[in-house]
Amino acid sequence: MRQARFAGVFYEKAESLLIRQIEDCFLHERGPGALPSNKIKSSLKAVIVPHASYLYSGPCAAWGYKAIAESEMPDLFILIGPSHHYNESGFSMETYETPLGLVRVKQDFARKLAEKGNLKQNENLHDGEHCLEIQIPFLQYIYRKNPEKI
């Protein structure tokens, strides 16, 4: 299991404070200005969001997560991010832990990716990396009624 290494650094460590912090990102003057609301008909396939501390990038990221929340829930989320420490590529199959709970990697999809693609599982790349970890609480927040679907 990959523990929340950046809770308390890039985002709040306590569950209630993290929920409030995410809501503040949505409501911020540089954010969408509103919490996600009703679903809309959308052909959304992907979003690109920043991966810095919520203090700096949370309101900007909230625009993307609001669009996701208001669209039909996809069958699968693929999170792609850079490595700030290694000049390598690889994916993680570990369960991610955040103050909002656990998010499990879709193991079948990851195995197929390893079999058919150029990427290989490499947990070391993700050990000290923040870029994907900080995306997960936003997904947990917008899908808090269906956390097992993330």
Question: Model confidence over 114-131: pLDDT tens digits?
Answer: 888 777 777 776 677 888
Q: 49: domain range?
A: 15-149
Residue whose C-alpha is closest to residue 139's, from 59, 54, 73, 45: 73
Q: Determine contact, residues 132/8, Cβ cutoff 8 Å.
A: no
How far apart CA 10 and CA 102 sit, in angstroms, is 18
Residue 1: inside a domain: no
The pLDDT value recorded for residue 7 is 97
Q: Is residue 8 part of a domain?
A: no
Segment 42-100, tens digit of pLDDT: 889 999 999 999 999 999 999 999 999 999 988 899 998 887 777 777 778 889 999 99
Q: Is 2 contained in some domain?
A: no
What is the arithmetic mean of pLDDT over 3-22?
Answer: 97
Q: At residue 29, does pLDDT exceed 90?
A: yes
Count of the separate structural domains present in the chain? 1
Could you tell me if residue 65 is inside a domain?
yes
* pTM (two decimals): 0.92
Report how far residue 74's alpha carbon sits from residue 47's, in angstroms, rounded to the nearest whole number.
13
Please indicate, yes or no, if residue 6 is contained in any of the structural domains: no
